[in-house]
Amino acid sequence: MRGGRGGRVPNSRSVAPTPARKGYAAAASRRESDVSLCSNRPSSVSLSHAIPCPPISDRSYQSAALRSVNAYLSSLSTATLRPPLPSARDITKAFDDVLSRLDWPMPVGVASTLEDDLPSILSNLRCPVKLSKSALKAPGTPHSWPPLLAALHWLVQLARFRDYRSSSQSFAEGNNVLQYHFQSFALFMEGDDEAVKALDQEQFRQTEEHVAKLMATVESLEKEASDLEKRAEAIRSGPSPRETTEKERALLKDDIKKFDVMIESWKEKLLSAEKLLGEKEEGLDAKIRENQRISEENEELRKRIGSQVMNVRDAERTKKELQAMERDVAEAEIGRNVLEEKSWELEADIDRKLKELESLVEQANHTIKKLKLGCDFQYVLKAEGSSAAEVLGEDYKTVLKPFLNEAADETKKSSVAKLEEKIYLQQQSREKSILLDERKELLSILQKKIDEAEARSILLKREVDDHTSRCSAEAERMMKDRESREHQLLIMEEEAENFLKDSELKLQKSIRESDEEIQMCASELVALIDAVSEYKECMESLVGEIQADLSETTQAIVDAHKAFLSARLMSAGQSASLCGSKRAHALLTS
């Protein structure tokens, strides 16, 4: 039965490596093996141009080369070369260590090995430094050390390059896109469409994640750049330490001046209040004395009136005196009213002054607390007091005066100390001004560096933007490729469905044709079997006849041969007859 459509190679078969894989593996193996310097083949690069010989006699070159060699030997955890002239064994040991890194081991301490093998090794490695036999025979001498140091330095550089090449990754290891193409092509050649689709999806996912990471990195770099710009702007606009110290110093001076002014004002207010109270007390004493005098005069008048004899003239005179007294009493009442009004005004003034004194006392108590004089004295007003001492308290002078004197002394001492501190601060300000000038210069240098860093950040930002645009363009291109591949996959699926339908129709048609062919072949087979059976019967009869003829012919040949042999036996000797009979018997048996 004829087959339908030809399928691809199944996945279970082991697929031979493709040419791309072979080339990639060979390239990777070549990259790993190209660094090996133990090969005797000369480098193709060294044949293109001659390598210049280093300045062996230059002292600066010798010191730099010795530092480089010692640094490399210390990285290998081996003994370093002691300047200015190391020993021959240390030089041989250093050559052995470096050549062992280059896969050219050499026994340590054997002078003949250094003299015999080192020139050939250097010539195979195309070293530009030429060593004489005398330098190799006595490596620890002053005239032989510079060329040996130059050759050793050249070998160290070669070993470092080999270490770098052996430790670095290959081209395809860090290139995910190239590995993706290799894997995709390999899976395509194997015929695994599902794996190719899964690989495409995984690559798209990794690309999107990489783009997201790059965008996050760009955002973080932008934030960091903005933070750096803000810090730089704050450094530019912010005050210097000297300015902040001067501001604090000016604030302290202002506070001291304010306290001095406040203390003076409180002293003046207390003095004015004491004077006012004294004046009020004096006025009150005068009024009291006036009232006492008036009352005494009234008593004297009453006594005089009671002791005198009344007549008409006296009555008239008394009447006149009474009228005058009434007038005096009216005037006294008017004066008393005036005095009452004045007393009311005085009481109002006293209340107002008491309120002012209360506010002043509160301020004074608050100031005493602020001054921290070391005593718990507080002003307490007594409105019923008749004098300033009774109103303010009698012990304020005895209690507060010593503490005020101490505070004044301390203030003087502190002012002296502050004056000394001022002088010291002026010296410090001069020193700091010098330091400030130096820091200004340093700040200008830092400003230049900041400008350079800003320029670098701008360049980095531009590079990041370019990289982001490239990545976005690459992502768009990959998305377009993905869409085109999806479109191609849809077209291929439609073609596969159409092909499957056509194949099913062809299969049904081929099944019908094969059934018809089978029926025809079955009838032909039956006819062929009948013909074969007839032919077999015919051949059996023919074979029987041939066998009968053959047996008759054989018997005739045997009889004729016997007759011939008998005739020969009679003519030959008896021994020959025996041999002939044996041969004839052997022929008959055969």
Residues 6+ away with beta carbon under 8 Å from 414:
none
pLDDT at 25: 40
As to burial, measured by CB atoms within 10 angstroms (0-12 exposed, 13-18 middle, 19+ buried), residue 323 is exposed
pTM reported for the whole predicted model: 0.27
Sign of the four-CA dihedral 196, 199, 205, 210: negative
Q: What is the DSSP string of 509-567?
A: HHHHHHHHHHHHHHHHHHHHHHHHHHHHHHHHHHHHHHHHHHHHHHHHHHHHHHHHHHH
pLDDT at 225: 83
Query: CA-to-CA distance for 370 and 382, rounded, in angstroms?
Result: 24
> What is the residue whose two structure tokens read 């200004």?
440
pLDDT at 128: 82
pLDDT at 11: 42
Residues 6+ away with beta carbon under 8 Å from 439:
240
CB 81 within 8 A of CB 90: yes
Query: CA-to-CA distance for 418 and 243, rounded, in angstroms?
Result: 19
Identity of residue 439: R
Q: What is the DSSP string of 302-339?
A: HHHHHHSPP-HHHHHHHHHHHHHHHHHHHHHHHHHHHH
Query: CA-to-CA distance for 590 and 575, rounded, in angstroms?
Result: 22
CB 172 within 8 A of CB 31: no
Q: What residues in the chain have per-residue pLDDT under 70?
A: 1-53, 56, 104-115, 167-175, 241, 305-306, 308-312, 314-315, 368, 371-401, 403-404, 407, 429, 432, 436, 439, 443, 571-590
Q: What is the DSSP string of 202-243?
A: HHHHHHHHHHHHHHHHHHHHHHHHHHHHHHHHHHHHSPPHHH
Query: CA-to-CA distance for 48 and 381, rounded, in angstroms?
Result: 112
Extract the tokens encoding 526.
Answer: 């039956």
Query: CA-to-CA distance for 489 and 200, rounded, in angstroms?
Result: 13
Which value, in Å, is the radius of gyration of the alpha carbons in the chain?
A: 67
Q: How many CA atoms lie within 13 A of 403 on its CB side?
A: 16
Query: CA-to-CA distance for 273 and 266, rounded, in angstroms?
Result: 10
Residues 6+ away with beta carbon under 8 Å from 274:
388
CB 129 within 8 A of CB 53: yes
CB 149 within 8 A of CB 70: no
Instruction: Give 77's DSSP letter.
Output: T
pLDDT at 575: 58
The three-state secondary structure class of 48 is coil
The closest of 305, 303, 300, 333 to 319, measured between CA atoms, is 305
* CATH, range 19-174: 1.10.418.30
Phi, psi (rounded to 5 degrees) for 16? -70, 150
CB 96 within 8 A of CB 108: yes
Sign of the four-CA dihedral 534, 537, 539, 541: negative
The closest of 314, 365, 331, 15 to 192, measured between CA atoms, is 15
Distances (CA, A) of 216 to 5, 125, 176, 408, 467: 52, 49, 20, 67, 13
Between helix 396-571 and helix 241-307 the angle, nearest 10°, is: 150
- Cis peptide leading into residue 84 (ω within 30°): yes
Nearest-5° Cα angle at 279, 275 to 281: 115
The closest of 264, 265, 266 to 379, measured between CA atoms, is 266
Hey, where are the domains in the chain? 19-174, 176-238, 243-394
pLDDT at 6: 39
pLDDT at 400: 65
Give the other-Cβ count within 10 Å of 381's Cβ.
Answer: 15
